[in-house]
A and B are shown apart, each in its own frame.
Chain A
Amino acid sequence: MYNPESLIRKGLPKGHIKDRLVRFSLGLVTYLIVIIAALLFFKIIKDGAPVLLTTKAPYVDLGFLLDKNETLHVFHDARGQRHQLAASKYSAYVKDHAGEPIYNERTFSYSGGGIIGPIVGTVLLTVGSMVLALFFGVSAAIYLSEYAKQSPFIHAVRLAILNLAGIPSIVFGLFGFSVFVLAVPVITSTPSERTLLTVPLFIGKAVLSFQGWNSSLLAGCATLACMILPVIITASEESLRAVPQGFRDAALAMGATRWQTIRTCVLPFSIPGILTSSLLAITRVAGETAPIMFTAAVAAKDDLPWQSLANPFDLLSSQVQALPYHIYTLAARIPASEFTQRAQYGSVFVFLMIVASLSFGSMLLRAKLRSKLKW
């Protein structure tokens, strides 16, 4: 018999305490993670911000951003005053104060001057690898989602691509070294001694020489692109699939070819999604050290990448500095001291700012595109 009284509970219901407990522990874990992340950011900002920010206008130490990286000289002059000078300023000082004695001189590699070289190198590597990865990744995604028949073979291909995403970046670094640095073909009239194979082209003295691109911007970009290709392909394919089938049907039924359909009615509407996924990839590309260690990066370089080039294309074959590699060098290759901290914390802080602004920029772009293209 129906008994309305039974709806009124007496005391706490059984499930209630357990439910609260679960809720509390899950919340605890979540906020613990947030606290750890917040501490990390706090530490970086606390140590790094003073290096970069100043109290006087323009409130930013432009020298740190725009000067070349140099060795730091620390010494005392005759009056016992301590000087910290980057190498170029140090030689100027020595010239001005010729004959004066210098005491307790110590030098710290990479710790003086600014970090324009690493910043520029990271920007070049990031832009280059994104261009490559987007071109190849989106092409592959279009093939997989729009053209390929959904056969077991294609599923296997897709699975293989997905698995590539889990390979550690150092493996990509070694792969890039053995393939892009040492083995890919170039057209040249003077093949290097370590070439693996030369194929005559019968055009003048030119031969196709499998000698690699050496350690260079191009090799680094190619390696980084390989590393993020799986992410780009998978995410692009998802965004392509998210475009309603009705758009394709409508275009095809109007007499559009497959490619016209994709170009006018599928790709434009999947770009926000592709960009969102690329945002993750950009921050990863900008931050990786392992893939560029053997393929593109140098610790020290006097010129900016485009300076003293015979022709603009040599940019691609020049080595570059890079922020993550610079941070790694400062942390692991030189003994830490109070005089290296400026460079270390400053570089980390700048890097964080760059990544944060990249993320923020892509988010804005995406929001803007998304509001225009909604269905």
Chain B
Amino acid sequence: MSPVLSDRIEVHDLHFYYGHTCALKAVSLNVPERQVTAFIGPSGCGKSTLLRCFNRMNDEIPGARVSSGSIHIGGVNIQQPSVDVAKLRREVGMVFQKSNPFPRSIFDNVAFGLQLHRISNRSMLNQAVEEALISAALWDEVKDRLHESALALSGGQQQRLCIARSLAVKPSIILMDEPCSALDPIAAAKVEDLIRTLRQQITFIIVTHNMQQAARVSDLTAFFHLGELIEFSPTLKLFSNPAHKLTEAYLRGTFG
């Protein structure tokens, strides 16, 4: 089955509100396919909000709404009511800041998405779980204890397990909201490695507060400030030669 949606994300003049507070103002950007895009900016500038727009996770927050503007993924306006949100979220996976494996076995965690979509053929499940764990660079560490609790894993392993869980349903886009902020540098490096390995097949958008990480893994970087997109350009250019004073101040750490 070919993906219903391709994965180029086009955001046009997006305004977003939580109740009466504006979280995103006139954001327009095009996230290209099969590249790594980093979102950076001070806390509360709307990075997570924009990320959650891409898989409509904001639907789950009462009072949260897109007031104007549009988001197209692969040419389809994902804001329209007729969009199958379950299918959208299968195409657009998400990894959270706080790793959140279910208190079940490692296998069950990775198989969760597949079982959700009614795949119960045992050999198919086994194969998909193995593939996902290999892609998430976790297979060698857990292959002998697939049926032990996921909570026995270390923090870094748990986060890679969550990545494997998203990978198992073969998404074309993966959104990562500060995936490494709770990890030690070595565990974070492993996550970065796997992003680098998978970038040929999957579009990554990664929110990070770690400038070195953004510089290391991303092709493009978007800098946000107070709900506005200040600058969006190739990472090399943004870091070496920022076009905007705010970006420069933020990168130098002399903000405000």
Residue of A nearest to B168 (CB): A254
Asked whether B100 lies within 8 Å of A247 as measured between CB atoms, the reply is yes
Check B166 for interface membership: any CB of A closer than 8 A.
yes
Asked whether A254 lies within 8 Å of B103 as measured between CB atoms, the reply is no
Asked whether B57 lies within 8 Å of A249 as measured between CB atoms, the reply is yes
Check B237 for interface membership: any CB of A closer than 8 A.
no
Asked whether B169 lies within 8 Å of A255 as measured between CB atoms, the reply is yes
Asked whether A255 lies within 8 Å of B62 as measured between CB atoms, the reply is no
Check A373 for interface membership: any CB of B closer than 8 A.
yes
Chain A residues contacting B57 (CB-CB under 8 Å) are: 249, 252-253
Chain B residues contacting A256 (CB-CB under 8 Å) are: 86, 116
Asked whether A265 lies within 8 Å of B113 as measured between CB atoms, the reply is no
Check A251 for interface membership: any CB of B closer than 8 A.
yes
Asked whether A374 lies within 8 Å of B103 as measured between CB atoms, the reply is yes
- Measured in the bound complex, the distance between the Cα atoms of B86 and A374 in whole Å is 28
Check B250 for interface membership: any CB of A closer than 8 A.
no
Check B190 for interface membership: any CB of A closer than 8 A.
no
- Measured in the bound complex, the distance between the Cα atoms of B112 and A74 in whole Å is 70
Check A149 for interface membership: any CB of B closer than 8 A.
yes
Asked whether A249 lies within 8 Å of B87 as measured between CB atoms, the reply is no
- Which of B86, B88, B100, B112 touches A257 (beta carbons < 8 Å)? B86
Check B187 for interface membership: any CB of A closer than 8 A.
no
Residue of B nearest to A260 (CB): B116
- Measured in the bound complex, the distance between the Cα atoms of B152 and A374 in whole Å is 11
| Min CB gap B1→A, angstroms | 15
- Measured in the bound complex, the distance between the Cα atoms of B16 and A282 in whole Å is 49
Asked whether A265 lies within 8 Å of B94 as measured between CB atoms, the reply is no
Interface size, B (range): 20 to 34
Asked whether A249 lies within 8 Å of B116 as measured between CB atoms, the reply is no
Asked whether A255 lies within 8 Å of B165 as measured between CB atoms, the reply is no
Asked whether B90 lies within 8 Å of A254 as measured between CB atoms, the reply is yes
- Which of B60, B89, B98 touches A254 (beta carbons < 8 Å)? B89
Number of interface residues of A (CB under 8 A): 21
- Measured in the bound complex, the distance between the Cα atoms of B96 and A256 in whole Å is 16
A348-375, CB < 8 A from B:
373-375
Chain A residues contacting B86 (CB-CB under 8 Å) are: 255-257
| Min CB gap A245→B, angstroms | 9
- Measured in the bound complex, the distance between the Cα atoms of B116 and A265 in whole Å is 11
Chain A residues contacting B102 (CB-CB under 8 Å) are: 247, 250, 265
Asked whether A253 lies within 8 Å of B112 as measured between CB atoms, the reply is no
Check A91 for interface membership: any CB of B closer than 8 A.
no
| Min CB gap A132→B, angstroms | 30
Asked whether A254 lies within 8 Å of B100 as measured between CB atoms, the reply is no
| Min CB gap B240→A, angstroms | 35
Asked whether A264 lies within 8 Å of B89 as measured between CB atoms, the reply is no
- Measured in the bound complex, the distance between the Cα atoms of B102 and A345 in whole Å is 50
Chain A residues contacting B96 (CB-CB under 8 Å) are: 246, 249-250, 253
Chain A residues contacting B60 (CB-CB under 8 Å) are: 249, 252
- Measured in the bound complex, the distance between the Cα atoms of B166 and A254 in whole Å is 7
Asked whether B87 lies within 8 Å of A246 as measured between CB atoms, the reply is no
- Measured in the bound complex, the distance between the Cα atoms of B93 and A252 in whole Å is 10
Check A163 for interface membership: any CB of B closer than 8 A.
no
Q: A253-B89, A255-B169, A257-B86 are in contact. Are A264 and B112 (CB under 8 A)?
A: yes
Asked whether A373 lies within 8 Å of B103 as measured between CB atoms, the reply is yes
Asked whether A246 lies within 8 Å of B94 as measured between CB atoms, the reply is no
- Measured in the bound complex, the distance between the Cα atoms of B103 and A375 in whole Å is 6
- Measured in the bound complex, the distance between the Cα atoms of B94 and A250 in whole Å is 8
Asked whether B62 lies within 8 Å of A254 as measured between CB atoms, the reply is no
A230-258, CB < 8 A from B:
244, 246-247, 249-257
Chain A residues contacting B89 (CB-CB under 8 Å) are: 252-255
Residue of B nearest to A374 (CB): B103
Residue of B nearest to A257 (CB): B86
- Measured in the bound complex, the distance between the Cα atoms of B118 and A257 in whole Å is 13
B93-142, CB < 8 A from A:
93-94, 96, 98, 100-103, 112-113, 116-117
Asked whether B93 lies within 8 Å of A253 as measured between CB atoms, the reply is yes
| Min CB gap A249→B, angstroms | 6
- Measured in the bound complex, the distance between the Cα atoms of B98 and A251 in whole Å is 14
Q: Could you list which residues of chain B lie within 8 angstroms of chain A, going by C-beta atoms?
A: 55, 57, 60, 62, 85-90, 93-94, 96, 98, 100-103, 112-113, 116-117, 151, 162, 165-166, 169
Q: Could you list which residues of chain A lie within 8 angstroms of chain B, going by C-beta atoms?
A: 149-150, 244, 246-247, 249-257, 260, 264-265, 269, 373-375
Shortest beta-carbon contacts, A-B, top 3: A246-B100, A255-B89, A255-B86
